Amino acid sequence: MDYVMAMLSVLFWVVAFAAVVLGITFILWRFIDNRVALATAVSVIVAGFGGLYLWTHNTTFDDLHLSDGWDDSDNIRSMRVDRYLDPEDDGSLRAQVRIEDKEVIRQVIEDFKGLRLRESRCYEDHEYYVYINNRLVGQSLPSFSAGESCFSYSYTIRDPGRDHLRTLDRLAEDESLEWEYMD
């Protein structure tokens, strides 16, 4: 049912966009006699609307990861955090820790809730990789990578100044945790 609704929503916006382009074309046709100039004007308008759509097309962490119900504290078993010690490095040196404290896991999820994301390839910084282990059988385990400006290689973070890595940074500085260092 959700798939059908999503397709109908996309179809609605495609038809609405086509109607606007046709309307603008007919209006411009009355004022521009040269067909090349008309085609150029319509192309610029279509490209402008396309750019505006891409610029404003956002999603959130909640839409990507919280819609499946895996964040329910009763379903969470543990969390593994991989920390890349030098994000500029090739990723070969890292540390990892397993967290079973549900309150800490909840706080990591809370830090990311509502985080606005824009689709774009982002390979700059990925300081942490987070893997959540849950009790839900048959459901893929949620995992994501995060840095100051990138989220899971496919998204740029749109909330400048938001401290979404607060709890993960606190875990990285916590000397009581037994970080396992890997080569």
pLDDT at 97: 92
- 45 in Cβ contact with 64 (< 8 Å): no
Of residues 56 and 97, more confidence is placed in: 97
**Beta-carbon neighbour count of residue 54 at 10 Å?**
11
Tokens at 131, concatenated: 């893997």
Task: Tell me the average pLDDT across 42-53.
Answer: 82
Output the pTM of the full model: 0.65
Q: Domain spans of the chain? A: 2-56, 62-182
Dump pLDDT digits (tens) for 167-180: 999 998 888 888 88
Please state, in angstroms and rounded to a whole number, the distance separating the CA atoms of residues 61 and 155.
Answer: 10
Give residues with Cβ within 8 angstroms of 46, minimum separation 6: 21
Confidence of residue 66 (pLDDT cuts 50, 70, 90): confident
- 176 in Cβ contact with 140 (< 8 Å): no
